[in-house]
Amino acid sequence: MCLLNINLNLKHRRTKTMAKSANSMKTVAVNAPTTREGAEAAMKSIGELQRDITRRETNMNDEINTIKARYQEEISPLNEEIKSQFSGLHAYAEANKADLLTGRTKTVKMGAGEISWRINPSKVSIRGADAVVEALERYKLTEFIRTKKEPNKEAILNDPDRVKDIKGINITQTEEFVVKPYETALERVEVVK
């Protein structure tokens, strides 16, 4: 591979903007190919490195899954024992709630821990939000309807000239440089009976 080590001023992000902003410039030392063959070799090398990373990540995930499975086998019976003891403790506490709770507190302190009863905050669940909104409007209960106001970004992109002088609106466009080495996927064939 024929590479030339040179310093280049690279624009990492080319920005088209309405607001005044400086394009950030970064000086990076790169090994730039000097020929098309060098570029092909660099592309091939990137593909090989990506495949090596994929293999290593696959091996890592296989090892992690093996370790998780081993510990899950050890932990599963412990979780079942906890569920059983929790259910028994709950049954005891409910049966003896009057004796356990004194005063206004809903917590019982014991030597190994505490038992408590908690009332969770109310929550609202809505099914068929559109129908609920229509019903609230029909009964003139609009204080229970939330209206969200926000800038319409799609409309701004469609007509940027009309909003170019408004402070707080900044339209940017970036350009990416993409390297995509070709991969050959093995064809998998199954016999259909």
Confidence check: pLDDT of 45 > 80: yes
Cα 172 to Cα 19: distance, rounded to the nearest angstrom: 9
Cα 97 to Cα 84: distance, rounded to the nearest angstrom: 20
Main-chain phi, psi angles of 114, to 5 degrees: -140, 155
Tell me, what amino acid is at 180? K
Task: Tell me the Cα Rg of the chain.
Answer: 32
Q: Where are the alpha helices (DSSP H) in the chain?
A: 36-95, 97-100, 129-138, 153-158
Tell me, what amino acid is at 18? M
Length of the chain: 193
| pLDDT given for residue 30 in this prediction | 79
| pLDDT given for residue 168 in this prediction | 93
Strand ranges inside 26-158, DSSP E: 26-33, 107-109, 114-116
What DSSP character marks residue 142?
G
In this predicted model, which residue has the larger pLDDT, 183 or 176? Answer: 176
Per-residue pLDDT of 78-134, as tens digits, reads 999 999 999 999 999 999 999 999 888 899 999 999 999 998 999 999 999 999 999
Per-residue pLDDT of 65-84, as tens digits, reads 999 999 999 999 999 999 99
With a threshold of 0.75, does the pTM exceed it?
no
